[in-house]
């Protein structure tokens, strides 16, 4: 099928994803080398195969949903999945947090705070166990309304992470002004580590800068033992990537929590 037709087909399917239960949330561990344990699980959007849906990578579905103005319902469905995870006995027994991705476009909705708080309450989940990851793909800018919304989310107890740091639009002013408590170094820097002294220097600087601002710094996309060794030598302790676990269905979270970690 030509790309333009595939896109048209995807656009037609987009609105079916939430009502027909075609989303299959996955989770990926974020590990802490200090404790040797999983510190948090990131909820990742995955679309079920079959059901007449085009086979598109998750980031394409997200981009389409943002363009079409339906990222709100998809984002809320992922947030609900995060709350349901935290409500499971396996997670209630241990201090593992859940990270949920939030599109900057969702922040434009005045109802967002009440919706998120309502969903957390419905699952009897503490907002402080949830970290909302905002990607740099849309300008946060110096919009005072967005800043106020983020301040309110933080005041409610949610942790906020600046995702994919280093590649998007976020300037240092975003770290200065917005109430982020976590920053995630984009995986492209980690991929380049072994053969780029500049990437090594930039990872080191991002870690130092984040920690100097009192932020928890995570390196994303760790795939090899060589990358792990380099990051460990720099002082990174929070890591995420295929080396520690690929995204797996949220329904199998018990298995994930009992499997030994590849640390
Ligand atoms: O932007 P964000 O960090 O939320 O993106 C998460 C995406 O990165 C997920 O789709 C996930 O499958 C992917 N991902 C997670 N770990 C790795 C990794 O080690 N390597 C690569 N290439 N992708 C990864
Ligand atoms: Mn993320």
106-150 confidence digits (pLDDT tens): 998 999 999 999 999 999 999 999 999 998 666 777 788 889 999
Residue whose CB lies within 8 A of the most ligand 1 atoms, among 26, 71, 247, 249, for a mutation test: 247
Which of the residue ranges 47-51, 101-105, 135-139, 188-192 would you say has the lowest mean pLDDT?
Answer: 135-139
pLDDT of residue 137: 63
Q: Name every residue whose Cβ is closer than 8 Å to that of residue 135 and which is 6 or more positions away in sequence.
A: 101, 103, 104, 163, 164, 168
| Contact of 28 with 247, CB cutoff 8 Å | yes
Q: Does some domain include residue 53? A: yes
Q: Does some domain include residue 263? A: no
Q: Whose CA is nearest to atom 16 of ligand 1?
A: 241
pLDDT of residue 105: 92
CATH code of 43's domain:
3.20.20.450
**Mean pLDDT of the 25-52 span:** 95
Residues with CB under 6 A from ligand 1: 28, 44, 58, 101, 133, 135, 163-164, 187, 220-223, 241-242, 247
pLDDT of residue 138: 65
**Please, which pLDDT band fits residue 168 given cuts at 50, 70 and 90?**
confident
Q: Does some domain include residue 64? A: no
Sequence-ordered alpha helix ranges (H) in the chain: 3-14, 58-68, 71-86, 89-92, 104-107, 112-122, 144-155, 172-177, 187-192, 197-212, 225-234, 253-258
Q: Does some domain include residue 63? A: no
| Contact of 54 with 60, CB cutoff 8 Å | no
**Mean pLDDT of the 173-199 span:** 95
Mean pLDDT over all residues of the chain?
A: 93
Q: Does some domain include residue 24? A: yes
- Percentage, residues of the chain above pLDDT 90: 80
- Measured CA to CA, the distance from residue 28 to residue 40 in angstroms comes to 8
Residue 34 has pLDDT above 70, yes or no: yes
Domain that holds residue 25: 3-58+69-258
**Please, which pLDDT band fits residue 29 given cuts at 50, 70 and 90?**
very high
Total count of domains within the chain:
1
Beta bridge partners of 44: 26
């Amino acid at each position: 099928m030509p790309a333009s037709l595939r896109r048209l087909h995807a656009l037609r399917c987009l609105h079916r994803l939430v009502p027909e239960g075609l989303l299959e949330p996955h989770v990926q561990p974020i590990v802490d080398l200090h404790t040797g344990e999983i510190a948090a699980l990131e909820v990742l959007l995955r679309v079920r195969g079959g059901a007449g849906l085009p086979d598109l990578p998750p980031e394409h579905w997200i981009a389409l949903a943002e363009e079409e103005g339906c990222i709100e319902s998809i984002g809320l469905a992922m947030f609900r999945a995060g709350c349901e995870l935290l409500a499971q006995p396996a997670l209630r027994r241990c201090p593992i947090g859940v990270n949920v991705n939030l599109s900057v476009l969702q922040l434009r909705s005045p109802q967002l705070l009440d919706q998120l708080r309502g969903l957390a309450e419905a699952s009897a989940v503490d907002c402080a166990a949830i970290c909302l990851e905002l990607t740099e793909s849309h300008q946060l800018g110096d919009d005072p309304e967005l800043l106020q919304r983020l301040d309110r989310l933080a005041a409610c107890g949610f942790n906020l992470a600046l995702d994919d740091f280093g590649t998007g639009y976020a300037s240092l002013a975003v770290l200065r002004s917005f109430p982020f408590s976590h920053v995630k170094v984009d995986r492209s820097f980690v991929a380049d580590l072994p053969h780029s002294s500049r990437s090594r220097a930039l990872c080191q600087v991002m870690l130092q800068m984040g920690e100097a601002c009192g932020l928890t710094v995570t390196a994303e996309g760790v795939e090899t033992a060589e990358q792990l060794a380099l990051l460990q030598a720099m002082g990174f302790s929070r890591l995420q990537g295929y080396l520690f676990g690929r995204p797996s269905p949220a329904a199998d979270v018990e298995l994930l929590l009992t499997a030994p970690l590849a640390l």
